[in-house]
Structures are given as C-alpha cells and as structure tokens.
Amino acid sequence: MAATQETIDTLEEATGKYKYGFVTDIESDKAPKGLNEDIIRFISAKKDEPQWMLDWRLKAFATWQKMESPDWAKLDIEPIDYQDIYYYAAPKSGEGPASLDEVDPELLKTYAKLGISLDEQKVLAGVVAVDVVFDSVSVATTFRGELAKVGVIFCPISEAIRDYPDLVKKYIGSVVPVADNYFSALNSAVFTDGSFVYIPKGVRCPMELSTYFRINEANTGQFERTLIIAEDEAYVSYLEGCTAPQRDENQLHAAVVELVAMDDAEIKYSTVQNWYPGDENGLGGIYNFVTKRGACRGDRSKISWTQVETGSAITWKYPSCILQGKDSVGEFYSVALTNNFQQADTGTKMIHIGEGSRSTIISKGISAGRSQNCYRGLVRIQPGAENARNFTQCDSLLVGDKCGAHTVPYIVSRNPSAKIEHEATTSRISEDQLFYCQQRGISTEDSVSLIVNGFCKEVMKELPMEFAVEAQKLIGISLEGSVG
Amino acid sequence: MAPLLEIRDLHASVGDTPILKGINLTINAGEIHAIMGPNGSGKSTMSYALAGRDGYEVTGGDILMNGVSMLEMEPDERARAGMFLAFQYPVELPGVGGMSFLRAAVNARRIEAGEDEIDQLEFVKLVRAKAKHLSINDDMLKRAVNVGFSGGEKKRYEILQMALLEPVLSVLDETDSGLDVDALKIVSDGVNLLRDPARSMLVITHYQRLLNHIVPDYVHILAGGKIRRTGGKELALEVEESGYVGIDDAA
C-alpha cells in the first residue's frame, strides 16, 4: 500500500527520457576487441585466477565454438559480431579496492546519480548491502564486515574464486552447465565479475543483498556470473538492478545466475532490469541474453524469482527452478514491459522432480508502441514427482494497436497424480478506465501508469519495498509516449 | 461576474448521429439544477460532452466555466479546473488501490495549484472523516477501485471522491439508478453536505424521487436533444404524474 502511494509521488518527478543514459568519463583499462584464447587468458590473469578456473574457461570456450546461436525464440536479432566486442573493461583506478576510500570519486558520483549510495555511514544500519559492478569489475561491496559477523559471505565472484575456491568449484556450473546453451557457454568462457553469496546453515541473512550492474564503456559486453548458495535453513533476499548509457549500437549482456537452496532454505531473487532499451525508432539498446536457474536441492527448500523487465532492446531470459527436494517450492513472478521497438521473449521453467513439489507462475506482459512481448514457459512433471502442483497465470495487456502479445506455454506431465492449472488473459487498457482516471484530474500518462501498475500489482507486491518504488516509477517512465 | 457554468447552443454528436441539438443552460454559483428526461433524450451525452470524453464530439456552441471555454481542454484539465462527474456506471480499476487512486487525484490538483502534495497521514485522516459520513469503512477503502463493489457501494464511492476533490461543478449522472431507499438516503445526505454557496451541481435523473432528497433550484426537461421546459422543483412532480408524453411537442 505505502509503496503504491510512494509511486504516485515518484511518478511526478519522472522525466521523459531514459534518465540513466549518461556516460561516466573515466579512464578505462580494456582488453583488445575480439574473442580468442588469449583474451580468455588475459581476463583470467587480470583476475589473478587459479589454473583450474582458466582451464574451465578454456574448455567452455571450446564448447561455445562448436555451438550455434539459438533461433527458436520469437525474436528478431541482428547477427552479433563476437569479434567486434570488448570482453574486458575496467576503470583504471584498479581492481577490487580494499575499502570505499579507494573507490574512484568519479565512480561514486556515477552511483550517486543512479541513486545508489555506497556510503555506509549515510545508509541506515541494516538496510541493503550492495555490490556494484562497473563494466567488467566489481568496484565496491558494502557492509561486508557486518555480514561476516554472522558468517555470510558477500563478495565479488572474482574474489570468491581466489578466497573460497572449494565452494566455487563445487557449485559453479552445477545448476547451469557450461553447455546448457549458447550464451551460458559464452559466459562461462569470458565472465568477468558478478556476486558471490554464501549463507551458512541456519542463518537468516540480516539485510537485503543487492548487486547493481552498470555498463559504461562503448562496444563492451557485460558477462556477469552470480552464484548464491543457501545452506540448510538459511534465508536470503537478493536484488539486482541494471542500467547502461544511451548508445546507438547494440551492446551484449549475457549473464549466468545460479542459485542453490538446501533443506528448508529459501532464496528470494528480485530483478529490476532497466538496461537502455534503444530509442523510439529502435536504434541501439542492450541485448539481454540471460540464463538464470535455481536448484531446490533440499527438502522443503524454496526459490522465488521476481523480475520487472522494462529495459533492453531484446530480452531473452527464463529464470527457472529445478525442484529436486521433497515438497520444494518454486515461484516466478514477472512483469515484462515493452515499448517502441523492444522485444521480449521471457518466462520460466519449473522442473518438478521431487515428491510434493509445488510451483506458481504469475506473468504480466505489457506491450506498447510497436513492441513484441512473448511469454514462454515450461512446466515439466517428472515421473517421480508424486502429487506435484503447478498454477500458472499469464496476463497480457496491450497498449495501442501496433504491438503484439504472445503466450507459449509448454506443459509436460509424466505423473498422473500431478495437478496443473493454466490461466491466461489478454486485454487492452480500456477507454473507460482511462476516462475515469482522467475525469478525476489525473493526466493521461499518469492514468496509464496507474492502470498498468494495478495490472502488475500481484507481481509488484512480491518485490522488497525499496525496489517496488523504483519499479513502479520505471513502469510509468517506460510507458511514456505510448498513449495519446 | 460570469456564471459558474454557461452552456451556449451546444450541439454534440456520437459518431455521425447528432444527439444534442442546441442546449442553452446557465448555472450560477450555489445553484442546483436538475435535468430530467426520457431514455435516449441525450442526458448521458450531455454529461460526457461536458466532461470532454472522447467520442462525444461537440459540433457547435460552447461550454464555459467561469467565463472560460472548456472545449479545447482535455478531460483531466477540465477536472482540475473543478468539474466533477459522478458516473452512472463507475469503472473498475483492478489492482489500483483505492487510497493511491484518491491521493493521485487530490495531488494532481494540488500540484496544478502550485501546492505541496498532501501529507500521507493527514490524507488518511481526511479520507476517513469524509468516508464516515457515507458509511464507507476502512476495508472498502483498502480495496481496488470499484472492484467487487455493490451498486450502492460504487455510488457512495463516487460521492466520497466528490467530497475529497471539492469540485466547483458536480455533474451527477443518474446517481440514483440501482439504489434502494436506504442507499439513496445515504448518497443524498452525502451530496447535501457538499451544498455550498460557491459550488453548483447538475443532477441528471430519470426519476423524480432523487429530487425529494436533493432539492433543486431549477428543473429542466431534456427531450430530443433540447431543453423543452424549465421550471422550479414542482416541474419534477408534474413530470412524475403525467410522464414525458407530449413534452417533445412542446418545442
């Protein structure tokens, strides 16, 4: 409730254009353009990685070279020249500063502009710990001391590879194997940074953890890798946010996120994705090709994905759950909003293996302008998943008459005791609703935002409060110019 | 001083069909006018034309509020200028919390007037106080706008909005339709509380019974897109007795 009211406040200050489109003028350290074994060795050396990690990368690269770019999604993708991308870019001031005092003031300014405070003193104690990734490196991670007191590890993954090799070795690639798909293989070869989270047995992480991704350099791809492990009875809520400068060329973002939840553990993963979407004529924007998957390994474990996808020229992602544990629970709450020439093909996979496993999918797609928005989801019940349950609800809302909404649900049940429900609706913003809001004095754009936020409410209420406000504001901004 | 509302020779069409064929009406501050008329006489078209709804095209004449023409104004601008329409069929807004909606409407006016947005706590108190008079409880305020409301609840909610927005001109479009006697009393009492020498109301109704509760200063009979007769409140009683038969011919 409070968040919704805040929205109205924040909506008013919303500006007309993508407001994160600025570029930080900072000297950067880049690997030469292009992709080959030497580049991978360069990245690995930059990160001071052990040999096993380099070997893993090189193997992934060999795998990727044998693969082909997928074309089954309902997406129209310009061919990507993988030799025309920088795979490593870091602010010159260095890799992994020891403390916030060492962070380049230009960077601190950038994050202040983005509304992210890296100043621990200014943040009320126990709010959100942030790891910020600027192009290819993590530039700061806050509240690490606080978290260490309870045994929680929250650090850049490049650091985890050096400091916690056993944990990383055990879990990396265990949920999303290298050869899972074209982009996961690419990511495994060239990933540069991302966050690592480890919650020990019985610990409830005392604050929200958050990673903020920013692409700054031109022609640079961002390949982040995130790994979150929650041991027995552990709990963590993790948020990620993303922005990039406004540029005419397309930039590639191919991330891999792996989650592992053991017995009675719960991981709540929320995303507000606001990469630069391209301009109103479809020029530029980020290609957001992401593989996110969580394994509910333990009994009664729970993984919940919440995503608000408003940015990127093209979004291709299906945050999924492998429900191995008995009575494990998977949830997927999604708002995908496309405007102008944006394309999104997004959804989830719920793979039921464990007895009594349950999943819920709530997807809200909003298409405006000339955009195409596709929900694609798989619910698979394996033979051993006795009494598995799934409920899926896919709602699409069309704004204007030049956009498209598509729903492609796949359902495979191999166990007769399973119960699967699928509901889907497609509607338009009605003239009645708009006129009603306007007659109360609310401007057309604010009315649309209000109605669309109402449409998304079931998903928005799953977001942590801090993010809900930002997400609602984003929806208003992203829809500007779509009506009237 | 210009009258609060002046309708001059108003012609309006829906699609290619002319509905209003030259309406003239002047409402001064503090007055309550009732518009009565048979089905299809143009009552709802008149309310939508006043509010500026898309599809209700003004083909001639003018609508002036405090001497300023409103024809070029968007519906939300007219609303912020002080025009309120209580809908005959209030619209459901799924997922849109009632309090957020009301606050957005109140703040839109305040921002236009160069004032600060209303304080959240102050706003909750204000809404609760106004809601009490209309027998609207907290539970109803927490729900999404009009979703799952009964017919009576929807009408009370319209009057609550009217009370919060303090319009200078309120157009009540068949607010009595679908109300039982008790609900009619609550709604009318709510409306009467808002009577004020600075505000005017235009009450559109098919039946006289509403006018026993909201007593008008003037009654106009609309038929065939024109005002055929104008009188005091006794005109409503006359119509109640003899019906609208013959009124068309009076022109």
Give residue A277's pLDDT. 81
In this structure, which amino acid lies at residue A333?
Answer: Y
Give residue A245's pLDDT. 62
Residues of A in contact with B161 (CB under 8 A): 440
Euclidean distance between CA atoms B105 and A450, whole angstroms: 11
Confidence of residue A26 (pLDDT cuts 50, 70, 90): low
* Of A468 and A92, the one with more pLDDT: A468
- Whether the per-residue pLDDT at A123 is higher than 70: the answer is no
Q: What is the CATH number of domain B5-250?
A: 3.40.50.300
Average pLDDT over residues A121-128: 42
The strand pairing partners of A352, in sequence order, are A323, A381
To which H or E segment does residue B226 belong? strand B226-231
CB contact under 8 A, B108 and A446: yes
Confidence of residue A79 (pLDDT cuts 50, 70, 90): confident
Is A182 part of any domain?
Answer: yes
Residues of A at the B interface, defined by Cβ within 8 angstroms: 1-2, 4-5, 7-9, 12, 430-433, 435-444, 446-447, 450-451, 453-458
Confidence of residue A102 (pLDDT cuts 50, 70, 90): low
CB A178 within 8 A of CB A188: yes
* Of B42 and A480, the one with more pLDDT: B42
Euclidean distance between CA atoms A337 and A343, whole angstroms: 9
Who among A443, A453, A454 is closest to B108 (CB)? Answer: A443
Which range among A205-214, B99-108, B166-175 shows the weakest confidence by mean pLDDT?
A205-214
Who among B104, B117, B120 is closest to A446 (CB)? Answer: B104
Euclidean distance between CA atoms B118 and B102, whole angstroms: 11
Domain count across chain A: 1
Largest Cα span, chain B: 57
Determine the residue among B96, B158, B171 to mutate to test chain A binding: the one whose Cβ has the most chain A Cβ atoms within 10 Å. B96
Is A483 part of any domain?
Answer: no
Q: Convert the pLDDT of each residue in A255-286 to its tens digit.
A: 999 999 999 999 999 988 887 888 888 888 88
Give residue A16's pLDDT. 39
Average pLDDT over residues B23-29: 95
User: What letter does residue A111 receive in the DSSP assignment?
Assistant: H
Structure token pair of residue A201: 């047995």
Name residues whose C-beta falls within 8 Å of residue B38's C-beta, 6 or more positions apart in sequence. B206, B223, B244, B247
CB B124 within 8 A of CB A466: no
* Of A325 and A104, the one with more pLDDT: A325
Burial class (CB in 10 A: 0-12, 13-18, 19+), A426: middle
Average pLDDT over residues A76-102: 69
* Of A298 and A85, the one with more pLDDT: A298
Which range among A78-87, A124-133, B113-122, B209-218 shows the weakest confidence by mean pLDDT?
A124-133
In this structure, which amino acid lies at residue A362?
Answer: I
Q: Convert the pLDDT of each residue in A415-464 to its tens digit.
A: 999 999 999 999 888 889 999 999 999 999 899 989 999 999 889 888 88
In this structure, which amino acid lies at residue A389?
Answer: R
With pLDDT > 90 as the criterion, what percentage of chain A qualifies? Answer: 46
- Whether the per-residue pLDDT at B128 is higher than 70: the answer is yes
Give residue B38's pLDDT. 87
Residues of A in contact with B120 (CB under 8 A): 2, 5
Q: Convert the pLDDT of each residue in A344-366 to its tens digit.
A: 899 999 999 999 999 999 999 99
- Whether the per-residue pLDDT at A95 is higher than 50: the answer is no
Who among B54, B108, B144 is closest to A441 (CB)? Answer: B108
Give residue A126's pLDDT. 37
* DSSP SS3 for A357: coil
Who among B54, B75, B107 is closest to A8 (CB)? Answer: B107
Task: Please name the residue that has the structure tokens 């009492």.
Answer: B189
Confidence of residue A18 (pLDDT cuts 50, 70, 90): low
Quick one: angle between helices B181-193 and B120-133, nearest 10? Answer: 130
CB contact under 8 A, B161 and A436: no
Is A484 part of any domain?
Answer: no
Average pLDDT over residues A117-139: 55
Give residue A479's pLDDT. 80
Domain that holds residue A220: 2-478
Euclidean distance between CA atoms B160 and B127, whole angstroms: 8
Q: What is the mean pLDDT of chain A?
A: 83
Confidence of residue A122 (pLDDT cuts 50, 70, 90): very low
- Whether the per-residue pLDDT at A139 is higher than 70: the answer is no
- Whether the per-residue pLDDT at B96 is higher than 60: the answer is yes
The count of residues in chain B is: 251
In this structure, which amino acid lies at residue A358?
Answer: R
Is A297 part of any domain?
Answer: yes
Give residue A14's pLDDT. 37
Residues of B at the A interface, defined by Cβ within 8 angstroms: 51, 53-55, 74-76, 79-80, 84-85, 87, 90-97, 99-101, 103-105, 107-109, 111-112, 117, 120, 142, 144, 161, 165
Which range among A154-158, A277-281, A317-321, B228-232 shows the weakest confidence by mean pLDDT?
A277-281
Give residue A96's pLDDT. 47
Q: Convert the pLDDT of each residue in B49-78 to its tens digit.
A: 999 999 999 999 999 999 999 999 999 999
Q: Convert the pLDDT of each residue in B234-245 to its tens digit.
A: 898 888 888 777
Domain borders along chain B are 5-250
- Whether the per-residue pLDDT at A469 is higher than 80: the answer is no
The count of residues in chain A is: 484
The strand pairing partners of A157, in sequence order, are none
Give residue B251's pLDDT. 42
Euclidean distance between CA atoms A302 and A294, whole angstroms: 9
CB contact under 8 A, A440 and B90: no
Quick one: angle between helices B98-112 and B120-133, nearest 10? Answer: 110
In this structure, which amino acid lies at residue B5?
Answer: L
Structure token pair of residue A118: 């890296």
Give residue B206's pLDDT. 86
Average pLDDT over residues A395-404: 89
Is A305 part of any domain?
Answer: yes
- Whether the per-residue pLDDT at B194 is higher than 50: the answer is yes
CB A205 within 8 A of CB A152: yes
User: What letter does residue B90 receive in the DSSP assignment?
Assistant: P
Who among B75, B80, B99 is closest to A1 (CB)? Answer: B99
Which range among A13-22, A50-59, B197-206 shows the weakest confidence by mean pLDDT?
A13-22
* Of A244 and A431, the one with more pLDDT: A431
